[in-house]
A = this chain, B = another copy of it.
Amino acid sequence: MPLFHGLSAFPLTPTDMDGRVDTDSLRRILDRLVAAEVHSVGLLGSTGGYAYLDRAERRRAVEAAAGHLAGRVPLVVGVGALRTDAAMALAQDARAAGADGLLLAPVSYTPLTEDEVFVHVRAVAEAGGLPLCLYNNPSTTHFIFTTELIARLAALDEIVAIKMPLPAGRTIADEIVELRGRVPDGFAIGYSGDWGCAEALLEGADAWFSVLGGLFPRTSMRIVAAARDGDAATVHEIDARLGSTWDLFRQHGSLRVVYAMARMLDLTKAEPPRPILPLPTEEEPRIRAAMAEIDELEGKAKSAIGE
């Protein structure tokens, strides 16, 4: 599977309250992804809390992950930062620490122009010297990529993929057709926003950049496999059974929910980086119910892959 295709699983990055990465917990979470044979690990994505970690801790996380994965699964690393020089340094760090690819979101404080984002992304891509996926995530970066800008960036050698948010105001199918007409052959178009990604895969998206996949990779892989086989019925069946998880993701933000789930699974004791607060205990029954549904799907996923 080429990089940035198939299931890219985005784990959280467990830390203590001071923002120091708990590499033991991280390795436990990565073990699940290796066992499920996800197509790539998306370390230090939004779910991985990259924006809340300093350079030294981000480097520690990449080193721990690269060492533990040891080439068994390709490692993609988020290198977004407010300053261009900081993002360039992070890209160089990620490469030196063993990343196979980079993910770059144009995070902003002062709203950025298209030209500013173009120059920024080009500088970081060149500094990193690895295949790079654009990270189009307006809900966190507050920058909206136009198709024009995507086309300009996709013409650069290093930039080989884009992680898109679910579209508003047009269908995923229409969006993919428009984008395919503007990017080179082989440029990967993938989606995030887990609740819409089953549909995106059925519509021909190359990748699912998945928060669920960072914690429950077997179920996520089943969706990807069924979509590849054109088995829409199975995709829809699994997707429907994840409905209560998607409801929680939409209501609370997927990051808060996967932290609660990871704690309930005893994978980590970590809480989200403050100011983000853990979900209130009142939500635990809903989360447990959603996880029970996933457990059952995971059991089926195990037997589907012959374990």
- Whether, in the assembled complex, A83 has its beta carbon less than 8 Å from a beta carbon of chain B, the answer is yes
B residues less than 8 Å from A107 (CB atoms): 109
A113-121, A194-202, A281-289: which one contacts chain B?
Answer: A113-121
Task: Determine if A276 and B52 form an interchain contact, defined as CB atoms under 8 angstroms apart.
Answer: no
Interface centre among A19, A83, A112, A139 (most CB of B within 10 A): A83
Task: Determine if B46 and A275 form an interchain contact, defined as CB atoms under 8 angstroms apart.
Answer: no
- Chain A interface secondary structure, helix, strand, loop or mixed? loop
Closest chain-B Cβ to A253's Cβ sits at a distance in Å of 6
Contacts A18-B85, A142-B142 given; does A109 touch B277 at CB 8 Å: no
User: Given the complex of chains A and B, what is the CA–CA distance between A106 and B116 in angstroms?
Assistant: 24
B-contact bits for A256-284, CB 8 A (1 contact / 0 none)? 00000000000000001111110000000
User: Given the complex of chains A and B, what is the CA–CA distance between A142 and B18 in angstroms?
Assistant: 24
A17 contact from B85, B120, B274, Cβ within 8 A: B85
Contacts A110-B46, A276-B110, A277-B113 given; does A83 touch B19 at CB 8 Å: yes
Interface residue tally on A, bucketed by range: 20 to 34
- Whether, in the assembled complex, A111 has its beta carbon less than 8 Å from a beta carbon of chain B, the answer is yes
Name the residue of chain B whose CB is nearest to the CB of A105: B109
Task: Determine if B275 and A120 form an interchain contact, defined as CB atoms under 8 angstroms apart.
Answer: yes
User: Given the complex of chains A and B, what is the CA–CA distance between A52 and B81 in angstroms?
Assistant: 10
- Whether, in the assembled complex, A73 has its beta carbon less than 8 Å from a beta carbon of chain B, the answer is no
Name the residue of chain B whose CB is nearest to the CB of A277: B116
- Whether, in the assembled complex, A171 has its beta carbon less than 8 Å from a beta carbon of chain B, the answer is no
B residues less than 8 Å from A23 (CB atoms): none
A274 contact from B51, B85, B113, B274, Cβ within 8 A: B85
Task: Determine if A255 and B83 form an interchain contact, defined as CB atoms under 8 angstroms apart.
Answer: no
Can you give 13 contacting A-B residue pairs, CB < 8 Å? Answer: A19-B83, A46-B110, A51-B82, A51-B110, A83-B275, A85-B274, A107-B109, A110-B140, A111-B253, A112-B276, A116-B276, A119-B275, A120-B275
Knowing that A111-B253, A112-B276, A116-B276 are A-B contacts, what are 15 other residue pairs whose CB atoms are under 8 Å apart, sorted by A's residue number? A19-B83, A19-B85, A52-B82, A83-B273, A83-B274, A84-B274, A85-B274, A112-B275, A117-B275, A119-B274, A119-B277, A120-B274, A120-B275, A123-B274, A142-B142
